[in-house]
Amino acid sequence: MKILANDGISDSGVEELRKSGFEVITTNVAQEQLENYINTNNVVGLLVRSATTVRKDLIDKCPSLKLIGRGGVGMDNIDVDYARSKGLHVINTPAASSHSVAELVFSHLFSCVRFLHDSNRNMPLEGDSNFKKLKKNYSKGTELKGKTLGIIGFGRIGQETAKIALGIGMNVKYYDKFIDSVSIELDFVQNQKVSFDLNSSDLDDVLNNSDFISLHVPAQKDYVIGKNEFEKMKSGAGIINTARGGVVNEEELLKYIENGHISFAALDTFENEPNPSIKVLMNPKISLTPHIGAATSEAQDRIGLELAEQISNLLK
């Protein structure tokens, strides 16, 4: 049986699938050529990340497909319910990349509170001619310890983000429609553990009282953070979106950055992916990454192995 990993899969995942008797194809097939490729090669399993979409028409036109797998959490690029109604297995790897995304949140946070994202733009240009000026510009940083991180969406990734925040001495508030309370356990070296019991706050409380807001929600029909939500946020707050493009109104974000109400933003996902707004890309108060939340070698190994195990259990 042939598995097409169209957006790639780790070597460890390939090896496990081959051990189970599958033929793994890692050729990247263009979206418009997928139907023909799948049918010509009698592909039974299609694995994607965020680049490839699997909509109703592709599902209908590829009768050999038995399984669609998403390497990662969100499955908004797959018509999941329709595929399942047609008898296809649809799987993802919700736990494999959680820690990687959480670490990216803090990569952005540490960078923004010390202006590293802007300093790294300007030091190569002016470091040799305006060193003292740049030193003055970037000498008003803040510490994260003692500050409050508000987390919107408290699933696996939100909880991993909370662990890092608690570990460095931050306060954590969270809002989640479905999770009222959670016990968070931090694992340290030498088998040391510390537990924290957290309870959900209402959204206004999180917005009003957080120094930084981090989003961890699935794709939505409407904005999660728009004009009304920006108004409720603390003056000088920062916002981080490593969730999905379209959950933050980027036009309003730019307005609130320009008027100083929002001190910075960090974006890993964008409304118009893969062609983000040039105004967003050029704003010196926005830290930018190209949707790399799960893109660590450790996460990709975990994703590949988890996909391989699920595929073997479902198709063998």
Q: Which amino acid is at 178?
A: F
Sheet with 286-288, strands from edge to edge, namely: 171-175, 148-152, 212-215, 237-241, 262-267, 286-288
Whether the CB-CB separation of 181 and 197 falls below 8 Å is answered with yes
**Please, what is the end-to-end C-alpha distance for the chain in angstroms?**
10
Which amino acids are annotated catalytic? 244, 273, 291
Could you tell me which of 7, 78, 2, 11 has the C-alpha nearest to residue 41?
2
* Cα–Cα distances in angstroms (integers) from residue 280 to residues 20, 100, 228, 241, 268, in the given order: 46, 24, 20, 13, 12
Could you tell me which of 101, 1, 37, 147 has the C-alpha nearest to residue 302?
101
Could you tell me which of 16, 6, 41, 59 has the C-alpha nearest to residue 307?
16
SS3 206: helix
- The C-alpha atoms of residue 50 and residue 36 are separated, in whole angstroms, by 21
Output DSSP code: residue 261: S
| Strand pairing category for 212-215 and 193-199 | unpaired
Question: Where does the chain have alpha helices with state H?
Answer: 11-19, 34-41, 56-61, 80-85, 98-113, 116-126, 131-137, 156-167, 203-209, 227-232, 250-258, 278-282, 297-315
- Distance of alpha carbon 32 from its chain centroid, rounded? 26
* Cα–Cα distances in angstroms (integers) from residue 165 to residues 286, 298, 308, in the given order: 21, 21, 32
